[in-house]
Structure 1
Amino acid sequence: MILAVLQARLGSSRLPGKALATLQGEPMILRQLERLRGARTLSKIIVATSADAADDALAGLVVSRGYAVHRGAGADILDRIARCAEAVGSVSHVVRLKGDAPFVDAGVVDQAVRLALASGADYTSNRVHRTYPAGLEVEVITARALRIAAAETRDHEARISPTAAIRERPDRYSQAHLKARRDSSRLDWRVKTPADLAFARSIYDALYPADPGFSMGDVLDLVESRQDIGRFAA
C-alpha cells in the first residue's frame, strides 16, 4: 500500500489558520486533498495533524468531508507520521506532503512514487536536488526506513524537520532523486504569508473553473503570461 500523509496544522505565526483559508470557495486543505485524489499511485490519503485542541476544527472538517485523519504528537512530526503508517498497516511506502502547498501536482506525485518503486530506494524525493518550485515537494519513504528513523533518538532539528534523519544519511538510507525538465527551483509557491495566499487565490481564480486538476505547467504558463500575477510568483 502507498500511503499519502498530508501534514497540516492550524498554528502559524505568520498566517494562523491558513489550512482553512478558502481557495475558490473551499478550505485550502480540501483543495489539496481534491488534487491528491488525482494521483493514480496512491492507495490511501490521510491528514496527519496534532492532538492539540487548537487543531480540532481542522480534524473535524476533514472527517466531515469523508477523509481520514490521524492525530498525534504536535512537536515530533516524524513520530506522528510513523504512527499514522503503523495504524493503517500493510504500508510499503509513505508519501509525505505538507499542508501549505495548494499547488501539489498529482502528476509529480505519481512520478515520484514510480521512481521509488523502480529504484527500490529507501528515500525518493524532488527535494534534495531542487528543480521544482517550493511547495511541490514530494518525499516517498519506505515504511521500514520510516520506522527505523522514528525509533531512534533524534535532536531537536530532526524532530521539527521529520525527514532530516533519513535524507541526510544517504550512506544509511539509499536515495533516488526526481528532477524536472526545467529548473524552476527559484519559485516559491508555498502559502506562508497573506501575500502568498493572495497569489494562490489569483491562480485558483484563473485556472480552477476551467480545470480543477490544473498542473504545475499550467501555473508556470499563467505566471509567465500574466504580469499582474507573475510579479508575485517568485
Structure 2
Amino acid sequence: MNLAILQARMSSTRLPNKVLKKVNGKELLAYECERLLKSKKIDKLIIATSNDKSDDAIENFGTENNIKVFRGSLDDVLSRYYECAKEFRDKENIDDLNIIRVTGDCPIIDTEVIDEVIKSFEENDCEYTSNTLTPTYPDGMDIEICTFSALEYTYKNATFKSDREHVTLYIKNSDKFKKFNYEAKNDFSNLRLTVDEQNDFDLIKNILENLYPVNHDFTYLDVISYMTKNPNLFFVNSNIQRDEGLDKSLKEDGRK
C-alpha cells in the first residue's frame, strides 16, 4: 500500500496562506492534490496539517474536496507524519505500508515523475528513494518514498530539531538505510517551480494561467518548453536559493 502524505500549513513565514492562494479560481493545494490523485502508484492521499487554529482552513479544504485531513504537531513535522501513517496503518490493518512524502509548495508536481520515482523504489527494493538526494529535477518536482519501518525508526531516533522539521533528513544522512536517488535525463535542478515567496507564486501563476486551460496534465518538460519560448520567465525567481528553509534550520542546529 502506497500512502501519500501531503504536508501543508497556512503559517508559512515567507508567503503566508500560500497553499490556498488561487489561480484560475482554484487553490494551489487543489492543483497539487489533483496531480497526486492521478498517480497510478498512489493508493491513498492524506493531507497532514497542524493543530494550529490557522490550519482550520486546510481542514475545511479537505472536507470540501473529499480528501482526508490529519492534524498533528505544527513544528515537529516528523511526528505529524509518523502519527498520520501509524493511524492509517492500524485502522486499515496494513502490514506493508510505504509512505510518499510531498510538500504543499509543489502545485505543479509532475504525476509522471511521481510514478517513476515510486516504480524505482519498488524495483530497487529500497527503504528510501527520492529525486532529491542529488537533485536533477526542478525544485517543485520533489518526491520521496520510504518504508513505514524507516519512518518509525527515524521518529524514534531523530533528535535534532532540523531532523524533526524536515522529516526525511535523518534518513538522508544515515548509513542505516538502503537508499536510491532517481535522476532526470537532463539536469534542471537550477530551475524553481515551487512556491516559497511572492516571485515564485508570480511564476507559477503565469504557468497555470497559460498551460492549465490547454492541458490539465502538462509535465515539467512542457513547462520548460513554455519558459524557453518566454525566456524572461527564467529570471522571475532566479534570485532565490534552493532549500533556503533547510539551510536556516541546519544553521540554527549548528550543523552548517
TM-score range, shorter chain: over 0.9
Contact 2:158–2:170 under 8 Å retained in 1: no
Q: After the TM superposition, which residues 64-103 of structure 1 pair with which residues of structure 2 at under 5 Å, given as runs?
A: 64-89=64-89, 90=94, 92-103=97-108
CA RMSD of aligned residues (A): 1.1
Separation of aligned partners in 2, 1:160 and 1:148: 16
> Which residue does 2:10 correspond to in 1?
10
> Which residue does 2:50 correspond to in 1?
50
Deviation, 1:45, is 0.5
Q: Find out whether 1:149 has 2:154 as its counterpart.
A: yes
Q: Classify the secondary structure of the residue corresponding to 2:81.
A: helix
Deviation, 1:150, is 0.6
Q: After the TM superposition, which residues 167-182 of structure 1 pair with which residues of structure 2 at under 5 Å, given as runs?
A: 167-169=172-174, 171-182=175-186
Deviation, 1:153, is 4.5
Ranges in structure 1 where 5+ consecutive residues have no aligned partner: none
* Cα deviation digits, residues 144-175 of structure 1 (max 9, x gap): 10011112241111111111111111x20110
* Cα deviation digits, residues 108-162 of structure 1 (max 9, x gap): 1101111111111111000011100111111101111001111224111111111
What letter matches 1:206 in structure 2? N
**Greater CA deviation, 87-96 or 63-72?**
87-96
Separation of aligned partners in 2, 1:205 and 1:153: 42
* Cα deviation digits, residues 181-211 of structure 1 (max 9, x gap): 0100111111111111111010001100011
Contact 1:132–1:185 under 8 Å retained in 2: yes
> Which residue does 2:31 correspond to in 1?
31
> Which residue does 1:123 correspond to in 2?
128
**Greater CA deviation, 86-95 or 98-107?**
86-95
Contact 1:23–1:31 under 8 Å retained in 2: no
Deviation, 1:228, is 3.9
> Which residue does 1:133 correspond to in 2?
138
> Which residue does 1:221 correspond to in 2?
225
Deviation, 1:18, is 0.4
Q: Find out whether 1:209 has 2:213 as its counterpart.
A: yes
Aligned sequence identity (%): 30
What letter matches 2:39 in structure 1? A
Q: Classify the secondary structure of the residue corresponding to 2:213.
A: coil
Separation of aligned partners in 1, 2:99 and 2:158: 21
What letter matches 2:171 in structure 1? I
> Which residue does 2:244 correspond to in 1?
none
Separation of aligned partners in 1, 2:38 and 2:226: 21
* Cα deviation digits, residues 75-113 of structure 1 (max 9, x gap): 111111111111111252111001011111111110111
Q: Classify the secondary structure of the residue corresponding to 2:87.
A: helix
Deviation, 1:227, is 2.7
